[in-house]
Every structure is written in structure tokens, then in C-alpha cells.
Amino acid sequence: MRRSHEKTLKNEKGNTCKIPRAEAVKICVKGTVQGVGFRPFVYRLAKSMGFTGFVKNTPRGVEIHLEGDSSVDEFIARLREEAPPNARIDTLELASSQSEGFTDFQINITAEGQALVFAPPDLSTCSECLEELFNPSDRRFRYPFINCTACGPRYTIIRALPYDREKTSMASFQMCPSCNDEYNNPVSRRFHAEPNACPVCGPETFFVEGETLKKGGIDIAAERIRHGKIVAVKGLGGFHLMCDPFNPEAVKKLRLIKQRSRKPFALMARDVNSAKSIAVISPEEEEILTSPSRPIVLLRKKMEIEGVSSGLSTYGIMLPYTPLHALLLENIPVVIATSANPRESPILKDESEIPPGTCDCMLTHNREIVMRCDDSLVKVVDGCLVFLRRGRGYVPEPLELRFSPGKRVLALGGELKNTVSIVKEEYLVTSQYLGDMKDLRNQEYLDEVISHFKTLYSFEPDILVCDLHPAFTTTKKAENWGRPLIRVQHHVAHVFAVFAEHSIIPDAPVLGIAFDGMGYGEDGNVWGGEFFVIRGTGYERIFHFRYVRQQGGDLAVKEPWRMVLAYTLDADINVNAVDALVEVDARIVKNAENAIKKGINAPYTSSVGRLFDTVAVMTGVAPEKIDFEAEAAMRLEGVALADVEDYYPFRLEKHEIDMREMMKTLLKEKAPPQVKAGKFHNTIVQIIKSIADICRSRWGINKVVLSGGVFLNALLMSKTCHALQEAGFEVLKPEKFSPGDESISLGQAYYTALKLKEQE
Ligand code: ZN
Ligand code: ZN
Ligand code: FE
């Protein structure tokens, strides 16, 4: 669970080495080592050990030059052990060098060159800054923009690299002499803390209510929240709407403003103890909750707060991640903190974007948000992080590829829950969550991020990548770019996204599994339950779920009874024997039945997402029509008994997984829905296990990749992993990126990078 993980320690020959005395040594450190206070740390360490030489940022990380008689081994050990909390050392290369006779140790700030892709993510306020924030004798007492080299805004205020104050939205604030001294003092916690500021010279907050505007005003905003008002609060990556979750009137009003009937609201708790008063928190969850990334973590409810997350067993909770939030919540244990944007549109970063009638009053500030970015949303499953939305605190941490494809790649992703990714030299960067590309406002957000990446990373693509779907706006954008274009099938992209985060180059065959709602298949059908054998960038679709008709297209997603009907007809079951269908208007069912039989507006689908919907409705745990995406599947997971061991019959025929026997048995069986749901989950696990066994005997495959939005289902993920691992398979799953469509651009980019590498 630790953020830092380390890979190699080697010299040029690849061996660890002891450096002879009196010679100089050069150490190149790669990873997240810029914008996190790494150079001052190296400076202090080297000085304390009596080394002379220098440390400097390079386009690829940090270079350290050491001279002196002290132990280099000890230096390296301490470099790893004592590194700042947000630093992540990926590789550490050691080489002997010429002694240059340095008499002191310096931080070299010139000749840094063009930084590659190292824009750091935003970091929550560190404990030392928090202490100063609440210390009456500190000059930054109650200053809402306190920060240091270990914390503060990064990605959301950076305009271009290398990361330097002049290239951030702090450029307009001239540092006062005291701040300037800290900034230039290598032993200060604020040495080159680019957003360094204080009450004398830095940004300030404003409280706006009707015609009145008041400087400061954090206390007034807190007062308004306590009195049931809806307050818009400008934070790091955008505006939240905040209100008191224990005030039913306020919650009701917020639901009206946000046009959400059941979809849950996120909460911000003052501290871990406040969070623990409403939710159960495991040590692993606490570690994530309090980590510098400070995501929203899904936590099991301890008590019901009416209207916050109705019908679900969890709350999404985060802790204050800026000094402004810490001050605002000083006397409030918990607030609702939902993004202020209208439904389905990008998070708002500017007061001018807030539609009238959205809030009662506003707490804003004059530090411009350069790049908007949503809060990240995660859960912890089997001790591992699972991303439901990846944004603030994690983006834009680059992935190191371990090879350079030689060309610059821009991958535009798919359509729903989209992101974009770029490959520059040996690095891959994936953007924050951008939302549904059918919405014009999100298309503009996509353009905003692409042009931001172009400036930030001085990036121009040589090659574009898009989905196979001919009608996606991202496909059209890619086609119109006027550059060579590669199209990657949706589910292949899902699998390659997992390869990317685990740095896998599939030289030997691997079984790649992608289960999701929908993706455009190579045969023109809707895919979503796919098994690939993959070698290099070549792949074969060895199994898929038997096609059924998705009558009504997208309508069948919102009205899962249509899928129930399709499965019923496919399995030759009498329609009248299915309760869920009897409850729908008979004429509408008859029309749908005819459409299915004639294949009108009824594409074939192999989607596992739709299969989960079907079983959820058939067992009676979900309504015939749903309110939000994946609601039916989530309810099925919610009721499933984990300790059921049975499973339903299924058949593997040629390339097809046939579920007709399961449907018949499930309908006839007189068992509670909790048992049926459990058995259904086990059936999917058994199918995966059986196909993995086939792959092992045919191709000697021992490695299995699990991908696609269906694997957000914790029960399925957990049972599948255990079954495969017990059988001796190595399982690779998404941990640093979302299992869902947010990772399509990542997979596209990595697939293309490997393809380019193969062509070399
Ligand atoms: Zn700090
Ligand atoms: Zn100052
Ligand atoms: Fe997908």
C-alpha cells in the first residue's frame, strides 16, 4: 500500500557496487522526485554525511554528484529510507565519475533543461504545515494557502514545465521578503516551494453572498453551512457544493439543485475520528484516506444519514485536503461535498461558470485554477486500491514504459468515462476523468486537456489512437487530425491498460479477460464478455459469451427487463414463467419480443454487464428500470452471499460460453435471491477458471489479466483472484488505474507503443 516502490539499484554493468574511496559517484534517480522536496532532502542528507558535490533536476529525474570519504552505500540506503513522503523512487542508477574537487554541497538550479513529463499531482496539506496553520505564533496562523515542498497545489496550477513558479498561476503573486528568503534557503521546508505564500503576499479568500463581498469569510461560510445553507466552495481542482448532511431540508434542496434522485453524495469529514463516527474504517482504508492523495474512499456505513446515500451500504468520505478545507471544517465534523457542476458536465473551476441558483452563497479565492480536476474516488478490496474515478492527487503521475517507442502518441480513448493519454519518449501520462463524450461540454473539456498537455509537455503527436467504434466523437476527432491513425478494439485496450500499469510486455502468451457493459466488436456486434490469448500485440478472441439480442440498444441498459426477455427467448423459456416480465405491460413485451425475433433495433451482445443486469432483475433484487448506471449489478453484488459454494451449469462450446442451462435452473430453483446471487457470482468465477485451465493446457499460459468495469464488483474480483491463485495462476488486475473505461486511452496508448516497438 506504500506509495513508494523501488525497482533497481545498479551500476552501468547492472551490478550493485561499492565505490572506491576518493572517487566521485554519480547517482541518477528516476520516479516522482520533482516538486516533492527531493532536492532539499538530498542536500541536507549529503551535507549531514560530509559529502561535497551537487544535486540537480534533469529532464529524466534527479542527478546527484557525490565526492568525499563517507559511505555511498549508507547514503543510498538513507536516500531510500528517509525520502520525503510524496517522493517515489522508481530506479536508482549508480556510476563512478570524475572528481571535480567540490568544497561544498550545492543545489544546482540552472541548466535543468526541458523537463519531460514530471508535473506532480496535487498534494494534501502536510502535518507540519497543519501545525503552523493552527499555531497562533506562526506568521501563517490561519492562512488558507499555507504549503511547502511536501504539500500544496501542483497539477491544477501548472501551465508549463519545468515546474517553476513563473509557469504557475502563482506567478501573479510577488513573494514578500520573508517568503523569498524561505524560497531561496536550501535548508528551509519551503526551498523552491513554487506556490509559497503568506498573508502578506499570497492569495486570499472571499465570501460572496448576494451583492456583498467580504475578504476572508471562512468563518461566515462555516456558519452558513451550520445554518442549512448550500455553500459553493472553491478548492483545488474546482468548486464543491457543501451543506450539512444532518439537515434533511438542506440535503433535499441540494438534490433538487443537482437533479439527483438517488445517486449518493460524497462527504468530507473533519478528521479520521469524525469519519469513524459514521463509517467503519479498516487500517488499510485509513491509510488511503489519510494519504497525501486524499481521495474519496468508499467506506461501510455505521449509521444512516438520511438522503446521502440511500439504498447503498457505503458512504464516500474524504478528509480536508487544503488548508482552506481544514479551516472551514474546524468546528464542523462532517459536510456533504459534491462537485458544483450541473449533471454530467465538467467540474467548475471559475465563479463565472456557476449557473445561477446553484448555491446560497460562495467561498472563493483569487488563486486561479489552471486545470480543473475532480476528486478521485476509490475503494479498498482485499487490501488493494480500486479506482472508481481517477483524478486529483494521482493525475498526472507518469508511467515509465522501460522502452521508448520512438514516436509521440496521443490516445483519445472511447466515449463513456473518458480520459486521454500521451506517450512521450519512455513515459506514458493519462489525464484525469473527463466524463461522457456525448456531452458537448465534456468534449470541450477533452480539448482543454489536450491543449493543456500540448503546452505542459511541449507535445505534438506523431500518431493518433482511437476506438474501433466509427461513430464516437473521439474517433471522428482522431480521423480529422491529419496524422497516422491506429484503431484499437475496446476490450483489447482494457487488457493492455492492465499490461501498462504492470509494465508487462507479453512475449509469452497471456490470457486477457475483459468484462464490461459494451464496446464495439471486430464483427460489428456489441462485445463485453471477452477472453483473449495475447502474445505481443497479436491476439485471438478464444471465448466470448453467447450472443443475445440487446433489444432497444441503449434503452436495454436503463430497462434491464429487455435483457431478461432476450435471455428468456434465447433459452426457450416460456415468457409467462418469468415474474419480472409479467410485471411489464404485456403489449410492450410483445413488441419487444417481435423486435428480438426479427432482429429490429436489436444488436447482438456478449456483454457480461448485461448478464449481471439480467440476473439482478430475474432474482428480483433490481427493478425492471434502473436509476443510475450499473445500479442493477451493484444491487446483485450487494445481496450476494459470499459463503455460498455452489454454481450453476454452463457450457463451453467452441468459442462460445453458453448460459442457457443456467437461466433455466436459476428460474426453476426455489432459493432466496441472496443464494441465487451468490451462485451466479460463483458461476462466472468457474467459467473464468475453466477457460484459464484450457489456456494452460493448450498454450502453457500461467498469467491472467482481469479488466473491464464489471471487475469493480469486489465480490467477483476477490473470488476470481482466489480461485485463479489457488490454481497457481498469476493474476494481474487494475490497481493504479480504473478497471473501467477511464483506462481505455491508457490501453490504446500502451498497445500502440508496443506496436511501434515491434516495428523497430
Ligand atoms: Zn506542507
Ligand atoms: Zn509572503
Ligand atoms: Fe469498457
Give 243 or 162, the one with higher predicted confidence: 243
Q: What percent of the chain is modeled with pLDDT above 90?
A: 86
SS3 category, 543: strand
User: Is the confidence at residue 143, as pLDDT, over 80?
Assistant: yes
* Mean per-residue pLDDT over the chain, rounded: 93
**How far is ligand 1, taken at its centre, from the CA of residue 148, in Å?**
4
**How far is ligand 1, taken at its centre, from the CA of residue 184, in Å?**
16
**How far is ligand 3, taken at its centre, from the CA of residue 532, in Å?**
15
Amino acid in position 347: I
Beta partners for 389? 377
Query: If you search the block for the grid coordinates 517522493, which residue do you land on?
Result: 87
Q: How many CB atoms lie within 10 A of CB 298?
A: 24
Give tens-digit pLDDT for 335-383. 999 999 988 899 999 999 999 999 999 999 999 999 999 999 999 999 9
Ligand located closest to 133 CA: 1
Ligand located closest to 175 CA: 2
Q: Is residue 390 part of a domain?
A: no
- Looking at the fold, whether 411 and 318 belong to one and the same domain comes out as no
Q: Is residue 40 part of a domain?
A: yes
Structure confidence at residue 21 (pLDDT): 45
CA distance 717 to 732: 11
Secondary structure string (H, E, C) spanning 378-447:
EEEECCEEEEEECCCCCCCCCEECCCCCCCCEEECCCCCCECCEEEECCEEEECCCCECCCCHHHHHHHH
**How far is ligand 3, taken at its centre, from the CA of residue 712, in Å?**
12
CA distance 711 to 729: 18
DSSP state of 149: T
Ligand located closest to 469 CA: 3
User: Is the confidence at residue 115, as pLDDT, over 70?
Assistant: no
DSSP string, 231-279: EEEE-SSSEEEEE-TT-HHHHHHHHHHHT-SSPPPEEEESSHHHHHTTE
SS3 category, 636: helix
Q: Is residue 112 part of a domain?
A: no
CA distance 313 to 638: 8
Beta partners for 242? 231, 337
CA distance 744 to 320: 31
Please give the tally of structural domains in the chain: 4
Centroid of chain to Cα 546: 32
**How far is ligand 2, taken at its centre, from the CA of residue 372, in Å?**
26
CA distance 247 to 224: 12
- Looking at the fold, whether 436 and 331 belong to one and the same domain comes out as no
Structure confidence at residue 5 (pLDDT): 35
Cβ atoms of 693 and 727 within 8 Å: the answer is yes
Structure confidence at residue 114 (pLDDT): 60
Axis-axis angle for helices 490-501, 744-759 (nearest 10): 80
Closest CA to 346 of 443, 416, 265, 430: 443
- Looking at the fold, whether 294 and 430 belong to one and the same domain comes out as no
Give tens-digit pLDDT for 713-732. 999 999 999 999 999 999 99
Question: How, if at all, do strands 510-520 and 703-707 pair?
Answer: parallel
Structure confidence at residue 371 (pLDDT): 97
**How far is ligand 3, taken at its centre, from the CA of residue 733, in Å?**
15
**How far is ligand 1, taken at its centre, from the CA of residue 359, in Å?**
31
User: Is the confidence at residue 105, as pLDDT, over 50?
Assistant: yes
Ligand located closest to 173 CA: 2
Ligand located closest to 86 CA: 1
Cα dihedral sign for 696, 699, 701, 706?
Answer: negative
Closest CA to 434 of 746, 60, 720, 157: 746
Q: What does the pLDDT average to over 15-25? A: 57
Ligand located closest to 174 CA: 2
Structure confidence at residue 623 (pLDDT): 84
Question: How, if at all, do strands 361-365 and 231-234 pair?
Answer: parallel
Q: Is residue 670 part of a domain?
A: yes
- Looking at the fold, whether 227 and 299 belong to one and the same domain comes out as yes
Give tens-digit pLDDT for 540-569. 999 999 999 999 999 999 999 999 999 999
- Looking at the fold, whether 745 and 718 belong to one and the same domain comes out as no
Q: Is 594 exposed, middle or buried (0-12, 13-18, 19+ CB in 10 A)?
A: exposed
Q: What does the pLDDT average to over 306-330? A: 94
Q: Is residue 129 part of a domain?
A: no
Query: If you search the block for the grid coordinates 554541497, which residue do you land on?
Result: 105
**How far is ligand 1, taken at its centre, from the CA of residue 358, in Å?**
33
User: Is the confidence at residue 413, as pLDDT, over 60?
Assistant: yes
Structure confidence at residue 113 (pLDDT): 55
Q: Say which CATH number the domain at 103 has.
A: 3.30.70.100
Cis omega before residue 396 (within 30°)? Answer: yes
Domain that holds residue 726: 543-732
Q: What does the pLDDT average to over 90-96? A: 92
DSSP state of 123: B
Q: Say which CATH number the domain at 559 has.
A: 3.30.420.40
- Looking at the fold, whether 426 and 295 belong to one and the same domain comes out as no
CA distance 5 to 346: 33
**How far is ligand 2, taken at its centre, from the CA of residue 147, in Å?**
12
Q: Radius of gyration of the chain from Cα atoms?
A: 27
Q: What does the pLDDT average to over 398-409? A: 93
Q: What does the pLDDT average to over 514-526? A: 97
In this prediction, residue 10 has a pLDDT band, given cuts at 50, 70 and 90, of very low
Can you state the percent helix, strand and coil of the chain, rounding each to 5?
30, 25, 45
Q: What does the pLDDT average to over 686-712? A: 98
Q: Is 5 exposed, middle or buried (0-12, 13-18, 19+ CB in 10 A)?
A: exposed
CA distance 452 to 158: 10
**How far is ligand 1, taken at its centre, from the CA of residue 154, in Å?**
13
Ligand located closest to 739 CA: 3
Query: If you search the block for the grid coordinates 521508448, which residue do you land on?
Result: 404
Sequence-distant (6+) residues with CB within 8 A of 88 are: 3, 4, 5, 31, 32, 33
**How far is ligand 3, taken at its centre, from the CA of residue 200, in Å?**
50
CA distance 544 to 727: 22
- Looking at the fold, whether 607 and 691 belong to one and the same domain comes out as yes
**How far is ligand 3, taken at its centre, from the CA of residue 5, in Å?**
29
- Looking at the fold, whether 221 and 363 belong to one and the same domain comes out as yes
- Among the ranges given (300-314, 375-389, 462-476, 667-681), the one the predictor scored with the smallest mean pLDDT: 300-314
pTM of the model: 0.93
Dihedral angle over CA of 420, 423, 428, 432, nearest 10: -20
**How far is ligand 1, taken at its centre, from the CA of residue 41, in Å?**
14
**How far is ligand 3, taken at its centre, from the CA of residue 709, in Å?**
6
**How far is ligand 1, taken at its centre, from the CA of residue 36, in Å?**
10
Question: How, if at all, do strands 212-215 and 279-280 pair?
Answer: unpaired
- Looking at the fold, whether 679 and 749 belong to one and the same domain comes out as no
**How far is ligand 1, taken at its centre, from the CA of residue 514, in Å?**
41
Ion ligand 3: residues, CB within 5 A, are: 516, 741
Secondary structure string (H, E, C) spanning 364-395:
EECCCCCCCCCCCEEEEECCEEEEEECCCCCC
Ligand located closest to 518 CA: 3
Ion ligand 1: residues, CB within 5 A, are: 126, 129, 148, 150-151
Query: If you search the block for the grid coordinates 419480472, which residue do you land on?
Result: 580
Sheet holding 463-467, edge to edge: 399-400, 427-430, 421-424, 409-411, 463-467, 485-488
Q: Say which CATH number the domain at 486 has.
A: 3.30.420.360
- Looking at the fold, whether 319 and 457 belong to one and the same domain comes out as no
Amino acid in position 226: R
Q: Is residue 191 part of a domain?
A: no
**How far is ligand 1, taken at its centre, from the CA of residue 121, in Å?**
14
**How far is ligand 2, taken at its centre, from the CA of residue 128, in Å?**
18
User: Is the confidence at residue 1, as pLDDT, over 60?
Assistant: no
CA distance 300 to 313: 6
CA distance 327 to 362: 15
Cβ atoms of 243 and 254 within 8 Å: the answer is yes
H helix or E strand, kind and range, residue 753: helix 744-759
Sequence-distant (6+) residues with CB within 8 A of 565 are: 551, 575, 578, 581, 589, 592, 593, 596
- Among the ranges given (131-140, 158-167, 632-641, 736-745), the one the predictor scored with the smallest mean pLDDT: 158-167
**How far is ligand 3, taken at its centre, from the CA of residue 596, in Å?**
24
In this prediction, residue 14 has a pLDDT band, given cuts at 50, 70 and 90, of very low
Structure confidence at residue 261 (pLDDT): 77
Q: What percent of the chain is modeled with pLDDT above 70?
A: 96
Taking CA atoms, 258 is separated from 267, 339, 368, 602, 758, in Å, by: 15, 9, 25, 33, 49
Please compute, for residue 459, the number of CA atoms within 13 A of its CA located in the half-sphere on the CB side: 30
- Looking at the fold, whether 573 and 721 belong to one and the same domain comes out as yes
Ligand located closest to 124 CA: 1
Helices marked H in 502-585 — which ranges? 555-558, 561-570, 579-582
Cβ atoms of 398 and 28 within 8 Å: the answer is no
Ligand located closest to 190 CA: 1
The set of cell numbers assigned to 756 is 511501434
Structure confidence at residue 58 (pLDDT): 83
Q: Say which CATH number the domain at 270 has.
A: 3.90.870.40
Cβ atoms of 613 and 536 within 8 Å: the answer is no
Give tens-digit pLDDT for 460-513. 999 999 999 999 999 999 999 999 999 999 999 999 999 999 999 999 999 999
Closest CA to 348 of 223, 238, 506: 238
Of 107, 130, 146, the position where a domain reaches its end is 107
Q: Is residue 386 part of a domain?
A: no
**How far is ligand 3, taken at its centre, from the CA of residue 495, in Å?**
10
Phi and psi of 739, rounded to 5°?
-70, -20
- Looking at the fold, whether 490 and 408 belong to one and the same domain comes out as yes
Q: Is residue 136 part of a domain?
A: no
